[in-house]
Amino acid sequence: MMSDTRQPPEPRAPTPSSTAISAQPDDLILSFGYGTDSTGQDYVQIWDNHVLGWIVDATFPPSVEAVPIIIGSLPPAPTQGMDVPQWAAYRSNQIIVPNSFRGSPSEFMTLLTAGGRQALGTFVDSGLRNLWTQWAQANPQLVWTPPAS
């Protein structure tokens, strides 16, 4: 799936070698929370956040990837050894995982659920919500339903 095993950068404040730039109005971040439920089913919860800006390295070549600035906090980094993203950018109906994936939301959700993992999407953006609903209806076996407690 995604072979880049580097850990994503932790959120950080601008330093002399970095700068904050404004986001585009349609920039969204998809955040991912991974887990295993009481039945042993691996899952990923997906949600969206509007991007206020990006912290970028002003040196050339840049030493770190851009970090999104959002209201709230980024999700925790995946467990060491998990070949999955912490977050992905969404713009113009494309999902972008830096140095790893670029494609449609449907392709990405299918890729994210490879290997038996199921997914549950909760989106504020109406376009993403509609895409999720279409994908979930076409792939009900890949949709995670939390077990009753």
Q: Does residue 5 have a pLDDT over 80?
A: no
- The pTM assigned to this predicted structure is 0.77
Whether the CA torsion 136, 42, 4, 52 is positive or negative: it is positive
How far CA 126 is from CA of 56, 79, 88, 131, 133, in Å, comes to 29, 30, 18, 9, 10
pLDDT tens readout for residues 23-37: 888 889 999 988 999
Write down the pLDDT at residue 4. 38
pLDDT tens readout for residues 54-77: 888 777 665 567 788 888 777 777
pLDDT tens readout for residues 86-141: 889 998 889 998 878 899 999 999 999 988 999 999 999 999 999 999 999 999 99
